[in-house]
A = this chain, B = another copy of it.
């Protein structure tokens, strides 16, 4: 099958100068990936974009894949951090409240760098370390599972894992599509409402009263979304 190249970083930069170089390289990787696409993103081009010699690039990254893997890792941790921060505020035990905060957090996460995310998901071959892009959704599933377990009684589904499987695949792709379609994020409040609505309809035995308001933004939910 396919060979999996080495992706573990090569040398830990000790001096500040080297740290800067590494960062410049990773940043340049993102830029080139976005602007040129995965297969046009040659290591030379990336080095050039980073204002660094090709030798320096290989001093820190043993292969092109290692480069992208580092970027994936960074991007993922950014998304995770954004999501976590968004979730910190709201600790209401109510599913509806939480759902909208969660969805709003997700939207923020997917706003971190949508164009990079796109390339990482749609062009990068998912081999070895590069499979890690999928991890965000896995973390999401874990998160959802642990939260929803405590609310089993308000949920229609007997098979919670199954319900989570559906949501964890349905929600991100809706958000991703919406984010891609609306780069400025003008409509994010409504997006949050719509997705939240979808989630609540799907999960709850008795969905909340705003059930029929789709098309008009429900005030509270969008207030939360706007703060993200």
Chain B residues, CB < 8 A from A211: 156
What is the 8 Å Cβ interface bit string for chain A, positions 156-169, against chain B (1 contact, 0 not)?
Answer: 11110011011001
Chain B residues, CB < 8 A from A227: none
The complex places the Cα of A35 from the Cα of B212 at a distance, in Å, of: 48
What is the 8 Å Cβ interface bit string for chain A, positions 95-115, against chain B (1 contact, 0 not)?
Answer: 000000000000000000000
Q: Could you say how many copies of this chain the assembly holds?
A: 4
A9 within 8 A of B: no
A6 within 8 A of B: no
**Residue in chain B with minimal CB distance to A200:** B201
The complex places the Cα of A5 from the Cα of B84 at a distance, in Å, of: 43
Report yes or no: A214 in contact with B159, Cβ–Cβ below 8 A. yes
Chain B residues, CB < 8 A from A162: 194, 214-215
CB within 8 A of A202: which of B124, B157, B198, B216?
B198
Contact-size category for A: 35 or more
The complex places the Cα of A162 from the Cα of B198 at a distance, in Å, of: 12
The complex places the Cα of A224 from the Cα of B104 at a distance, in Å, of: 37
With A1-B35, A122-B122, A202-B198 known as contacts, the answer to whether A174 contacts B170 (CB < 8 A) is yes
A178 within 8 A of B: yes
Chain B residues, CB < 8 A from A218: none
Chain B residues, CB < 8 A from A177: 165, 169
What is the 8 Å Cβ interface bit string for chain A, positions 164-189, against chain B (1 contact, 0 not)?
Answer: 01100111111011100000000000
Instruction: Name the interface residues of A198-226: CB closer than 8 Å to any CB of B.
Output: 198, 201-202, 205, 211-212, 214-216
A residues adjacent to B (C-beta < 8 A): 1-2, 35-40, 121-127, 156-159, 162-163, 165-166, 169-174, 176-178, 194-195, 197-198, 201-202, 205, 211-212, 214-216
Q: A162-B214, A201-B201, A205-B212 are in contact. List 19 more A-B contacts (CB 8 A).
A: A2-B36, A2-B37, A2-B40, A37-B125, A38-B39, A39-B39, A39-B125, A122-B123, A123-B126, A156-B212, A158-B214, A163-B194, A166-B174, A166-B195, A169-B173, A169-B176, A169-B177, A170-B173, A173-B173
